[in-house]
Amino acid sequence: MFASALRRLFTLAGSPTVRAVADAVGVSAATVSNWRTGRHLPAEFETVEPMLVWLTARATSNRHVVAEVVTVSQWQQLFSTATGRDPALPVLTQIATAAEQWALDTDTSEPVQLDAARFLLLSCVAVSSTGVLTLRVPELPAAAGRIVAELVEIGVLSLTPDPGDENQDLVRLTDLRVIETWSRLSTWVEQARPVLISRSALEQDAQRWATAGRPRAWLYDHVRLTLTADALIALSPDLGAAGTQSAAFWFGAATTAHIPPGTVTEFWAASQAASLRTLRVHQMIAAVLIALIAMTLGLGLALGAVTA
């Protein structure tokens, strides 16, 4: 069904060649061919989404076929059905009901744990470059184990094997639509959207920086570092109270414990170093200017004394 709809989209988009589509979206022609025939669909919708967006844009430019074009959100539903990973809405509603009851009980008995759950769930949400909420796989502190276990039992979170470590599991939201069905989580996400955007932008910028060969011009300046640090702190629990306080940076109050690991840490450290070098250059220039002004004033006074 998915392949049939995709072949129809190719036709509505003007029947571009597999090679042309592959070059446009940055995958191999064999990959596009497999998707078009229904073989070897990717594990995640985000992998095939750029191709669908590109074909849809071409198709909708023809006003005579707009009514026949499937929207990208409809494609996502079709993909979930095709890959057998589409939880029925009643199941999501049941999960949301159980999660809200857990939140009410926890808020009464251990309000600190509810706050920790909020941080945990927000760490599982990202914002794409187009402003759409997406799933994010976080790095979890050991202290989060109990909350993770409870939310997995409820169904809000799911565990998946870590491809890089067979003895490790990764945590993610069971389904992005849990945000829609659980009003408390929806409120948390909406309130945190500005800082979620900042964190996602940092992760996306770091990845592009690394892919492009780490150009210095793409690093953050001191203003961007300070603002992003504030967002990272807002998305983290009280790390100092937890006894995990780590090394601080020059710009912003965030520490290494607040920075997502991997490429982001490297990007952040490089931005800090570059901004510090810039600051020192500016300080040297300012010192030279002050010295010149002082010398000029002193020379003027000396000349004034001589002429007098």
pLDDT by residue (tens digit) across 266-276? 999 999 999 98
Q: Can you tell me the distance from the alpha carbon of 30 to that of 38, in angstroms, rounded to the nearest whole number?
A: 12
- Residue 21 has a pLDDT of 92
pLDDT, greater one: 44 or 303: 44
The set of residues, in sequence order, having a beta carbon less than 8 Å from that of 271 and lying 6+ positions away, is 219, 220, 221, 224, 225
- Residue 308 has a pLDDT of 61
Rounded to the nearest angstrom, the gap between the alpha carbon of residue 53 and the centroid of all alpha carbons in its chain is 20
Q: What tokens were used for 42?
A: 């990717």
Max avg pLDDT among 206-210, 236-240, 259-263 = 206-210
Name residue, tokens 């992998």. Answer: 47
Sign for the CA dihedral angle at 103, 106, 108, 113 comes to: negative
Residue 287 has pLDDT above 80, yes or no: no
pLDDT by residue (tens digit) across 66-124? 777 878 888 888 787 777 765 556 678 888 888 999 999 999 999 989 998 999 999 99
